[in-house]
């Protein structure tokens, strides 16, 4: 119905307006007789008809992220590069207005905080708002239809400058999150895709510049087992399970081959094994990643070879201009032919056809205007997303805290008056900034504000006196600080996980006043809170991530108990010494006695974390019980593997259902609260070593009132039970299993699988000659292994 309304609302006049907004003109001009404008044809046929008219030069010119189009054909220029990580964001294809309409868009929290919500429905709602706002921008030629989001690399090392862009460290969590995100972004219209999402960065990209290992050059050494069990699942979810429209290959190489030049990765795994084979699916390079194939990767001897191997491997778009600069030479040298160009261009334009780019007012969402941007619903959703993610790390009972008129509230820290700091990177322009200081002033308290030390530990120098003065005066002390994009950012990894000396000094001195003292730890990468957790004078600790446009309100509403916290840490909080135990370049997850690595993530880390993955306190208490009987018959505690596989009609065996465990969650306290029901699997099954446990299901329950019980459904598939062997095959194994609800398990179910180990997924093996050296350090040029050109055989 919405679509019909749209057409009616626009009509012919509106369509004429659209033409002025960068859309191709299918009514007049040269395109009208090209089949690309024939809405009765299927998308790929339409795109083929368009590309058939291109000259070779026109083909090559349109391989870059900024396509000039083909003016003589009436095909307008198009920018493939838009960003929308947590709202329509500044990027080459997005054009915010200085005044009037389209001067802002809703800015949600960074994914790391939305990840902490463990609320898939929320993520889908957020993504739906983003795509709606994107469509509104698009209708007025302020954005294209392709968004290079999400960043779904697992956040395995908390030093990573871009960890904030991800939902956390757990591959199941990321897979489930991204599935919902993509549904929200791409919509569920049968004919038209709302916008195209782009899963990035494929694959094993999670380093910026640590110790000289620039991302443009880093070669990630990952064995098949950990590649499949850890680095791949979010991308498999995108490609195989969520029909994402686009992928981005990454800067790094994987086991010696730059990902953008890797036919095994882009064809054998992505397109063949995962059947990501719709003709409208395309791959873009990360920006200048094709250039990096030549230098610094030195994977090819010439620039022409670099663009040729990348195009042939399946990198359809070059973010940059390296394709348009160097494909002419490659073409002249016979390294590529028209078929190579056509394949990529047809993918691109089929995708645009799928989004109604050529279809004028036939397209749903065409009636969206700036009235549909930052609606009250969207603004409330951004607030709720922040509230749901904010995580209570410590509480001695001080929270929730009554703040009344006249309460003297000392608000201290370099986040206390945060504005754009709250957004993190890849942000747009929000309708407002409700930071902590703004929010504190809404409480009616008399706010005593002092800035305090910056996250980099730079000298507070002249900030000590105001801090002490505020603390002396205050009835309550709230410190909002930690790290921000000055410490963790694209291009720059963190070098420490410790609070700085200046921060610890101020925090401990504030605590020494013996007043209610709340620390709100900001930023994506966890800091080692050991000293704060131990300090009895620190009443409470919240983690606030990058909470977006309404972050201050969310923080103070939680402090005051307007709403109860239920977020869970999406990453482990390690002791600060962790950074000296494992280099960022070590991609291995399992502990290693030789290297001294204590392992990565809650699945493998074999020492005591400061706070575990999924830690998060409440203002009430919960108990949980797995129902003793139910429709799926999980009262059984032994299963025969072959029986489990019988009758499964899923195209992929890991998606075969195992059991849905219903969990009754009771709020035994008095405060209404959400509760994230987490199901972890442990046990001795499959290849040793065995992980400590692994997340296999979660559901966030909402607004469970005191004394009430709510029921969560933990859906386990055979994939939930399976393990990955050293060849990358996914195998269902006999052995002992335990399903644990929550991190200090509130309830547990033990069961056993019997019978023969059965492979659910045969991993496509990489070429045998694939480089697998142990030399992690890449220090420069000319100092490494002798140059060796590795051109895929089909070139």
Binding stretches for its own copies (CB under 8 A): 65-66, 92, 209-214, 216-217, 286-288, 291-292, 294-297, 303, 319-322, 324-325, 456-465, 468, 491, 495-502, 504-505, 508-509, 528, 530-531, 575-577, 579-580, 777, 779-783
3 state DSSP class of 543: strand
C-beta closer to its own copies: residue 120 or 262: 262
Q: How far does CA 394 lie from the centroid of its chain?
A: 27
Question: What's the rounded Cα separation, in Å, for the pair 137 and 335?
Answer: 40
Catalytic residues: 286
Residue 652, both tokens: 């992929």
Question: What's the rounded Cα separation, in Å, for the pair 521 and 610?
Answer: 14
- Minimum gap (Å) between residue 376 Cβ and its own copies: 38
- Minimum gap (Å) between residue 527 Cβ and its own copies: 10
C-beta closer to its own copies: residue 470 or 579: 579
Nearest to 189 by CA among 374, 362, 8: 362
- Minimum gap (Å) between residue 342 Cβ and its own copies: 23
Question: Is there a contact between 438 and 552 (Cβ–Cβ < 8 Å)?
Answer: yes
Whether the ω angle into residue 400 lies within 30 degrees of 0, i.e. cis, is yes
C-beta closer to its own copies: residue 289 or 681: 289
Residue 780, both tokens: 């420069």
Q: How far does CA 772 lie from the centroid of its chain?
A: 28
C-beta closer to its own copies: residue 141 or 209: 209
CB atoms near residue 492 (< 10 Å):
16
C-beta closer to its own copies: residue 499 or 658: 499
- Minimum gap (Å) between residue 531 Cβ and its own copies: 6
Nearest to 121 by CA among 736, 743, 702, 630: 702
DSSP classification of residue 381: H
Question: Is there a contact between 206 and 156 (Cβ–Cβ < 8 Å)?
Answer: yes
Nearest to 149 by CA among 206, 192, 223, 199: 199
Residue 655, both tokens: 């998606």
The beta strands (E) that lie in 42-118 are given as 66-67, 78-79
- Minimum gap (Å) between residue 671 Cβ and its own copies: 34
Question: What's the rounded Cα separation, in Å, for the pair 89 and 297?
Answer: 30
Helices (H), 361-477: 376-389, 436-442, 464-473
C-beta closer to its own copies: residue 10 or 299: 299
C-beta closer to its own copies: residue 321 or 623: 321
- Minimum gap (Å) between residue 533 Cβ and its own copies: 11
- Minimum gap (Å) between residue 792 Cβ and its own copies: 21
Question: What's the rounded Cα separation, in Å, for the pair 696 and 698?
Answer: 7
Question: What's the rounded Cα separation, in Å, for the pair 69 and 266?
Answer: 26
293: left (phi over 0), alpha (psi -120 to 50) or beta: alpha
Residue with tokens 């399976």: 722
C-beta closer to its own copies: residue 243 or 321: 321
Q: CB under 8 Å, gap of 24 or more: what pairs does 28-35 form?
A: 29/74, 30/72, 30/73, 30/74, 31/73, 31/74, 31/75, 31/358, 32/74, 34/73
**Residues contacting residue 478 through CB under 8 Å, at least 6 positions apart:** 409, 410, 411, 412, 416, 436, 440, 517, 518, 520, 559
Nearest to 573 by CA among 456, 415, 743: 743
Q: What is the 3-state secondary structure (H, E, C) of 645-668?
A: HCCCCCCCHHHCEEEEEEEEEEEC
C-beta closer to its own copies: residue 632 or 790: 790
C-beta closer to its own copies: residue 103 or 577: 577
Residue with tokens 């329950």: 701
**Residues contacting residue 688 through CB under 8 Å, at least 6 positions apart:** none
Angle at 150 between CA 568 and CA 207, to 5 degrees: 80
C-beta closer to its own copies: residue 7 or 531: 531
Question: What's the rounded Cα separation, in Å, for the pair 253 and 204?
Answer: 8
C-beta closer to its own copies: residue 5 or 495: 495
- Minimum gap (Å) between residue 364 Cβ and its own copies: 33
Question: What's the rounded Cα separation, in Å, for the pair 180 and 433?
Answer: 27
Nearest to 51 by CA among 69, 29, 64: 69
| Residue 593, burial from CB neighbour count under 10 angstroms (0-12, 13-18, 19+) | exposed
- Minimum gap (Å) between residue 232 Cβ and its own copies: 26
C-beta closer to its own copies: residue 68 or 74: 68
- Minimum gap (Å) between residue 309 Cβ and its own copies: 16
- Minimum gap (Å) between residue 248 Cβ and its own copies: 13
- Minimum gap (Å) between residue 640 Cβ and its own copies: 49
Dihedral angle of Cα 357, 363, 366, 368, to the nearest 10 degrees: -120
- Minimum gap (Å) between residue 227 Cβ and its own copies: 25
DSSP classification of residue 605: -
């Amino acid at each position: 119905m919405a679509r019909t309304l749209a057409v009616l609302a626009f009509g012919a006049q509106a369509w004429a307006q659209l033409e002025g907004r960068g859309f191709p003109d299918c009514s007049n001009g040269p395109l009208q007789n090209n089949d690309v404008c024939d809405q009765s044809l299927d998308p790929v046929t339409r795109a083929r008809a368009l590309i058939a008219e291109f000259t070779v030069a026109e083909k090559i010119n349109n391989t870059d992220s900024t396509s000039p189009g083909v003016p003589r054909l009436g095909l307008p220029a198009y920018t493939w590069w838009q960003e929308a990580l947590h709202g329509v964001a500044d990027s080459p294809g997005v054009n915010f207005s200085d005044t009037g309409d389209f001067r802002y868009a809703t800015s949600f929290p960074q994914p790391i905080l939305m990840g902490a919500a463990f609320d898939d429905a929320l993520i889908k709602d957020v993504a739906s708002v983003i795509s709606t706002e994107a469509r509104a921008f698009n209708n007025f030629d302020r954005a294209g239809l392709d968004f290079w989001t999400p960043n779904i690399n697992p956040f395995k090392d908390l030093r990573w400058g871009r960890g904030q862009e991800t939902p956390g460290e757990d591959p199941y969590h990321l897979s489930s999150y991204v599935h919902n995100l993509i549904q929200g972004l791409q919509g569920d219209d049968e004919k038209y895709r709302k916008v195209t999402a782009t899963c990035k960065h494929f694959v094993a990209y999670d380093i910026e510049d640590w110790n000289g290992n620039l991302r443009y050059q880093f070669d990630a050494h990952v064995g098949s087992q950990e590649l499949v069990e850890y680095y791949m699942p979010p991308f498999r979810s995108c490609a195989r399970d969520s029909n994402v429209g686009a992928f981005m290959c990454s800067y790094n190489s994987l086991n010696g081959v730059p990902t953008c030049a890797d036919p095994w990765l882009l064809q054998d795994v992505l397109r063949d094994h995962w059947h990501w084979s719709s003709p409208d699916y395309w791959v873009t390079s990360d920006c200048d990643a094709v250039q990096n194939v030549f230098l610094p990767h030195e994977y090819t001897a010439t620039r022409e070879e670099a663009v040729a191997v990348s195009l042939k491997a399946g990198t359809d778009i070059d973010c940059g201009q390296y394709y348009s600069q160097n494909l002419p030479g490659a073409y002249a040298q016979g390294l590529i032919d028209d078929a190579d160009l056509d394949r990529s261009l047809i993918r691109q334009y089929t995708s645009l056809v799928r989004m109604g780019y050529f279809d004028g007012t036939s397209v749903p969402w065409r009636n969206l205007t700036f009235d549909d941007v930052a609606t009250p619903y969207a603004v409330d959703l951004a607030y709720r997303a922040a509230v749901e993610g904010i995580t209570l790390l410590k509480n001695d009972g001080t929270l929730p805290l009554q703040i009344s008129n006249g309460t003297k509230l000392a608000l201290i820290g370099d986040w206390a008056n945060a504005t754009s700091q709250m957004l993190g990177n890849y942000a747009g322009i929000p309708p407002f900034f409700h930071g902590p200081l703004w929010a504190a002033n809404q409480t009616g308290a008399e706010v005593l504000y002092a800035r305090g030390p910056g996250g980099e530990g730079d000298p507070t120098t002249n900030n000590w006196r105001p801090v002490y003065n505020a603390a002396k005066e205050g009835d309550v002390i709230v410190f909002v600080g930690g790290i921000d994009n000055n410490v963790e950012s694209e291009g720059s990894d963190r070098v420490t996980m410790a609070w700085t000396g200046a921060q610890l000094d101020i925090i401990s001195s504030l605590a020494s006043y013996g007043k209610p003292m709340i620390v709100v730890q900001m930023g994506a990468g966890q800091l080692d809170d050991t000293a704060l957790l131990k300090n009895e004078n620190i009443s409470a600790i919240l983690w606030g991530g990058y909470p977006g446009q309404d972050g201050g309100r969310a923080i103070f509403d939680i402090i005051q108990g307007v709403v109860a916290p239920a977020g869970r840490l999406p990453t482990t909080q390690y002791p600060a010494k962790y950074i000296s135990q494992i280099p960022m370049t070590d991609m291995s997850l399992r502990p290693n006695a030789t290297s001294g690595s204590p392992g990565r993530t809650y699945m493998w880390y074999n020492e005591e974390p400061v706070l575990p993955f999924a830690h998060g306190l409440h203002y009430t208490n919960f108990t949980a019980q797995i129902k003793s009987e139910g429709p799926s018959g999980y009262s059984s505690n032994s299963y025969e593997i072959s029986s489990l596989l019988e009758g499964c009609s899923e195209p992929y065996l890991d998606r075969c259902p195992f059991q849905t465990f219903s969990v009754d969650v009771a709020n035994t306290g008095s405060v209404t609260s959400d509760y994230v029901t987490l199901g972890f699997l442990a046990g001795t099954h499959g290849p040793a070593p065995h992980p400590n446990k692994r997340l296999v299901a979660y559901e966030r329950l909402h607004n469970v009132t005191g004394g009430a019980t709510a029921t969560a459904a933990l859906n386990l598939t055979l994939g939930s039970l399976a393990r990955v062997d050293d060849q990358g095959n996914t195998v269902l194994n006999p052995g002992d299993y335990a399903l644990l609800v929550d991190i200090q398990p509130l309830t547990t179910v033990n069961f056993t699988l019997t019978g023969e180990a059965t492979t659910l997924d045969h991993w496509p093996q990489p070429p045998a000659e694939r480089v697998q050296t142990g030399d992690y350090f890449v220090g420069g040029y000319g100092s490494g292994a002798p140059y060796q050109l590795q051109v895929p055989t089909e070139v």
